[in-house]
Amino acid sequence: MILGVGIDIIEVARIAASFEKFGERFVKRILHPDELAYCLSHKAPAPFIAVRFSAKEAISKAFGTGIGAQLGWQDMEVRRRDSGEPYVVLHGSGQKLLEARGGRAVLISLSHTQNYAAAVAVLESAD
């Protein structure tokens, strides 16, 4: 059963401008260390940062909370399996919120181009 669905799209240039203006302070606020290392390992990190930003927005929409008091940037992490498939790891308030909602997992799909990054998140029921 599906408990919630979220979608988000963002212009990569917006994230690139924030990264240029605020540097690591900006990305450390929204990304976990492993996410940051992965993104910065690319010659052009902005699309990879943007798609994780979009993913976290989509996840917060699937929960129906947005980013804020109930669910923060650091409560969500996007990882990659060896196959390249993205998956979500919830930390702290994110994991507590999943359990409180009777959820089992957050499924995610990501896509990005040079100009746009998009994500869809589905909150899956434990039943």
**Which active-site residues does the annotation give?**
61, 112
Residues 112, 54: Cα–Cα separation, whole Å: 10
* DSSP β-ladder status, 86-90 and 103-112: unpaired
